A and B are shown apart, each in its own frame.
Chain A
């Protein structure tokens, strides 16, 4: 912050007056009221490198424009509907990665864990006839347990998370091959719960609109109640104009999405579940003490420890959440292809989920990010793959392009962190 000597002298002259209003600092950049202040704040943040989800929104627009102009089927209601289902598996796993990235760590085992848990479900339910809900529960708890074990070695034993999960990546893949046994592939029947959750679509047009209306309505009510409580407590609150603006933007996105989905078949259950999971986990991260602890450990683990937070417990539970979300994602992916096989959770899945979390705007350096980056990032990755599939681009080229996009996302993250430091915001 540069200081103006003349203004400092001014300050000194106003000293008694300032004592009467101690909270106001003359150097403070006060935000204007209303929409105008909102826009000004937005530009100031952007310039100082606090990009938020701006790059990824621009990326989606560019990708959709390019593929849409190259091939008209890309922006068809059918393709976009399919896309909204296809991103769920990747997105669910990426949500777990977001939690781990918030700690400033990485989990390289989520691909193998997702395959392992899909295999657990398939073997228990299809081959051994276990109740499907029970098998589902065992698979998800298995993922959580795997994460807890890895978290233990990281948080309690002190092995770098990178190495623990790299070892896990191989070991859990081996366990999956062991469980699948000689057959190698277990087909999941189309009426199995995993396949049904993935493929169910609510055909009634009302379903998508009601879901959109409920989401927007809840957001509006929650914002207004919060603002009212803040005003009653005489602390700064969002102006009503800003709440209305935000609600309008969210409503526009929600209802356009609902309209497009209804143009094809309707609201896919998988997408609905994904959105509910995102809302719940976003709430956990931003509105509970647990979420605050995750951010604190990611920002300064020593500071968190001195504040009385049990850092090992936070770390172990976060890895456990990543394992559980990997299991959930793995089950969606298994439901999508209706089988659990030796290739489940392999290939470029791991790269894609990490890319999704980072592209969505969650920092690799810890302490900054949101679960919504899993949705945005999965949308970018899914759009690129879907577009290239339509164009008939070979796997070789797809890998190179996806790799470049990941690198670009990390570059944006690193540069924005640097300019945030320069602007005193990191």
Chain B
């Protein structure tokens, strides 16, 4: 990568009681790059994301933002730096319309009063540049489909002009076409020069959009892979921690049967 990383994590550790959830975790995110964070349940993906987002600050380790060491103690710190997080449950307000949700917490004002016209205008511009198609920016979010809600949640994270976007399982609850729409959107984030961290269980999605894949296992790094020079099998063996595991044996057996 020619560019400096925008976000660097070095030696991040986090304990919860008797559990060492993260130990010595490293990660680099460059501008215009999609980094997939994969691992089995309990591998520490969520803990890592929460450390970056300021929800659970790490016990040890260094977080560097554009080359400078920073402390992220609360969600607000992360937002101020330019890290936006889209959680799996989206946290949208069903009773508010799309514009209300996009600007929630940072409404535009004019003479101290909500500036609906400018928020309306900026929402349309934002949704247009992301090629997000929703019926109207003035309908309650409740009437949108799961995929549309996901795209609204991602669009909302872009309102504050972030440099890094964290997507936590964005496709977990979506159908085939909706998943494709969200993956298109992830690629558009990359085109806009944003660093994206994609947390996912779905190898197909990861292989489809990620530039680099960071595998986690038992709270540690278990290898970084370049998507163009790796295979799903290689990643799965890194996730499970062995080239000989239930998953690889099953795949080998299937291949045998197909032949």
A118 shortest CB reach to chain B, Å: 34
**Choice from A229, A234, A287 contacting B114 with Cβ under 8 Å:** A287
Contact indicator B79/A23 (Cβ below 8 Å): no
CA distance in complex: A229, B121 (Å): 11
Known A-B contacts A288-B113, A308-B79; A233 and B105 likewise in contact (beta carbons under 8 Å): no
Contacts of B112 in A (CB 8 A): 288
**Choice from B96, B113, B128, B140 contacting A22 with Cβ under 8 Å:** B128
Known A-B contacts A25-B133, A28-B135, A308-B79; A292 and B124 likewise in contact (beta carbons under 8 Å): no
Contact indicator A300/B93 (Cβ below 8 Å): yes
Q: Is A367 located at the chain interface by the 8 A CB criterion?
A: yes
A101 shortest CB reach to chain B, Å: 13
Contact indicator B91/A1 (Cβ below 8 Å): no
Contact with A along B198-239 (1 / 0, CB 8 A): 000000000000000000000000000000000000000000
Known A-B contacts A230-B117, A303-B91, A306-B75; A424 and B128 likewise in contact (beta carbons under 8 Å): no
Q: Is B66 located at the chain interface by the 8 A CB criterion?
A: no
CA distance in complex: A307, B85 (Å): 11
Could you tell me how many residues of chain A have their Cβ less than 8 Å away from some Cβ of chain B?
41
Nearest A residue to B75 via CB reads A306
CA distance in complex: A296, B99 (Å): 12
B126 shortest CB reach to chain A, Å: 11
Known A-B contacts A306-B91, A308-B79; A289 and B128 likewise in contact (beta carbons under 8 Å): no
Contact indicator A309/B94 (Cβ below 8 Å): no
Known A-B contacts A296-B93, A308-B79, A367-B94; A23 and B106 likewise in contact (beta carbons under 8 Å): no
Q: Is A302 located at the chain interface by the 8 A CB criterion?
A: yes
Contacts of A236 in B (CB 8 A): 120, 138
List CB contacts (< 8 Å) of B16-51 with chain A: none
Residue in B91, B93, B133 with the greatest tally of chain A CB atoms within 10 Å: B93
Contacts of A19 in B (CB 8 A): 131
Contacts of A18 in B (CB 8 A): 133
Contacts of B113 in A (CB 8 A): 287-288
List CB contacts (< 8 Å) of B124-157 with chain A: 124, 127-128, 131-136, 138, 140, 142-143, 145
List CB contacts (< 8 Å) of A19-75 with chain B: 19, 22-25, 27-29
Q: Is B245 located at the chain interface by the 8 A CB criterion?
A: no
Contact indicator A25/B96 (Cβ below 8 Å): no
Nearest B residue to A28 via CB reads B135
Q: Is B249 located at the chain interface by the 8 A CB criterion?
A: no
Contact indicator B104/A298 (Cβ below 8 Å): no
Contacts of B91 in A (CB 8 A): 300, 302-303, 306-307
Contact indicator B92/A303 (Cβ below 8 Å): yes
Q: Is B65 located at the chain interface by the 8 A CB criterion?
A: no
Contact indicator B121/A424 (Cβ below 8 Å): no
**Choice from A29, A229, A299 contacting B96 with Cβ under 8 Å:** A299
Known A-B contacts A233-B117, A288-B114; A29 and B87 likewise in contact (beta carbons under 8 Å): no
Q: Is A304 located at the chain interface by the 8 A CB criterion?
A: yes
Residues of B within 8 A of A (CB): 75-76, 79, 87, 89-96, 100, 104-107, 109, 112-114, 117-118, 120-121, 124, 127-128, 131-136, 138, 140, 142-143, 145
Known: A296-B100, A303-B92, A308-B79. 4 other contacts (CB 8 A): A19-B131, A29-B135, A229-B117, A288-B113
The 4 A-B residue pairs whose C-beta atoms are closest, nearest first, are A307-B105, A367-B95, A303-B91, A299-B93
